[in-house]
Amino acid sequence: MKNILRKNSIYGIAQALINLIFVFFAVPVFIKILGSEAYGVFALVMVIGNLNTFTNLGLTSALVKFIAEQGKSEKSNIDIIVNLLIMIITALPLTLLALFLVDFVLLDIFKVPIYLFEEAKGLYFWILWANFLLLIGQVFKSTLDALQKVYITSLQQVVYNIFYWGFILIALIQNFNLTGVGLSIFISALIWFIITFISSIKVWGTFSFNGLSFSFKDSAKKQLNYGIKIYSSGMIGFFYEPLTKVLISNFIGINEVGFYDIALRLRSQLWGFIAKIFYPLFPFISAQKDISIIRKYVHELEQKMFYIVVPLITIVILIMHPFIELWIGDNVDIISITAIFIISFHLIGSIVVPHYQFLMAKNLAQKTILLQLSNVIFNAFFFLITVYFIGYYALIIGNVAAILSSFILSLYYQKKYLNSLIFDSPLQVVKLFLVFLCLLLIGYVMKGLLIGHNVLILLTIPISLPLLTVYLFKLFNLIKIEDIQRYFGSDNIIAKTLIKIYN
């Protein structure tokens, strides 16, 4: 099982890395060709991708859970067919309704400038149908994920990302407007849908409708009862980042939506790595009956994730300004400050993802509703009470407050239901904080010596700080030999090198 989890995570990380490369290359090209205001409109219209939140009904998570528990069986086959039918029945009318409300959404809610309205309308049209395909395709993706074939869906996502950004770049280079960008995204979604459908047929076999009329009601009830809890959580989560974008466009301006979106895209790349590491854990927890084993995995992964997050946050703080200066070139201060705070606190929030998956998998999904609700309430509340005093930076205050609130609440639930916290003792927290201070201090000294040489800073800091972290972990006795053997084995170069260092 460990080998399967490791394989699925590695493929997921590779997929996230490829997407990272495309994003870093495509975003500045987009802004250079179409302008920052058009990019702001693009970021706003892409919010309707969250329409999937309204139509999903939590059914993809439900399908993964039940197939993982039941295995490849007739009951699971019925669950797949029922899941697909419910998804189509709910998604199609909502997509048509969204198309009917296009003027209201773009002009009254998003405040799209009149001179960009027709382009935004075309983008809106294609994005809606692309999202429809992506939503229906999640049924087949979930089937593969539940069978621990996450590495296959990760490869399919790589293909999607290549076509997604590749077609967008072609559209931009060919001087297409936002409508052309939308068409590019739709074609990418269509290709992904076809590939995912064919792969699911090869792995699962032909989906049978036998027994559907007798089992439809029970299967639908089972999946909806579970899915509605995930759905409620997702519905509330919809009002987090999308609502922030709408608030920015209404209280501050359309350009600032673009600044915020750039920070979110950077955060999403790091989040992508973390999500891919942890995602294979969800079907594993769903199938696992022994709560002590789940407790062990959740505790261990969260603790070691904290060890990774500490140097990552330090690197983000030190390199963000020179990186944005080289990557975007304009509005460097406002974008870099936004990115530092949003990325750093989301990295902290990501530590409790294994526990969040436990809540979803073990019939405690209603608790995730409260976690998402705390995000939305704290984010909107702190934004609204500070925006008139500090303007744009109110979004940072809101985001930070939201992450901290849900993080603390998650720790409470973890103690209550798993009788476990992240650390074994307060001393571990003190040691990690000292590691963070040492890394930050030494990093600032290195950055000061290289001031004015952004490329050298970007090369030196991300290489030297992880090496320094290895030494500091040894100095503070945070890593043990058995930890290395558990995660890296004992007969490969990486494991042997680390064992030699920590001996």
| Rg, Å, the chain Cα set | 23
Mean pLDDT of the chain: 81
Per-position b or e across 269-299, b if 16+ CB within 10 A of its CB = bbbbbbebbbbbbbbbbbbbeeeeebbebbb
| Predicted pLDDT of residue 385 | 92
Do 435 and 307 meet the contact criterion of CB atoms below 8 Å apart? no
In a 3-state reduction of DSSP, which class is residue 367?
Answer: helix
How many other C-beta atoms are found inside a 10 Å radius of the C-beta of residue 221? Answer: 11
Render pLDDT for 111-162 as a digit per residue (tens, 0 to 9). 888 888 888 899 999 999 998 999 888 888 888 887 777 778 778 888 888 8
| Predicted pLDDT of residue 483 | 66
At 489, which helix (H) or strand (E)? none
Domain boundaries, the chain: 1-238, 251-422, 427-503
Distance CA 331, CA 216 (A): 55
Distance CA 264, CA 19 (A): 14
Do 410 and 355 meet the contact criterion of CB atoms below 8 Å apart? yes
| Predicted pLDDT of residue 107 | 84
pTM to 2 decimal places: 0.66
Render pLDDT for 292-347 as a digit per residue (tens, 0 to 9). 888 888 888 888 888 888 999 999 999 999 999 988 877 888 999 999 999 999 88
Distance CA 313, CA 5 (A): 26
**Among 52, 53, 50, 66, CA closest to 220:** 66
Which residues does 308 contact at the CB level (< 8 Å), separation at least 6?
none
What are the distances in angstroms from CA 87 to CA 90, 109, 206, 401? 5, 27, 19, 35
Helices 481-488 and 493-502 cross at an angle (nearest 10°) of 170
| DSSP letter (8 states) at residue 478 | -
| Predicted pLDDT of residue 187 | 94
Tokens matching residue 254: 């359309």
pLDDT higher than threshold 80 for residue 10:
no
Q: How many residues can be counted in the chain? A: 503
What pLDDT band is residue 86 in, cutting at 50, 70 and 90? confident
How many other C-beta atoms are found inside a 10 Å radius of the C-beta of residue 232? Answer: 18
**Among 121, 88, 86, CA closest to 102:** 121
Do 375 and 402 meet the contact criterion of CB atoms below 8 Å apart? yes
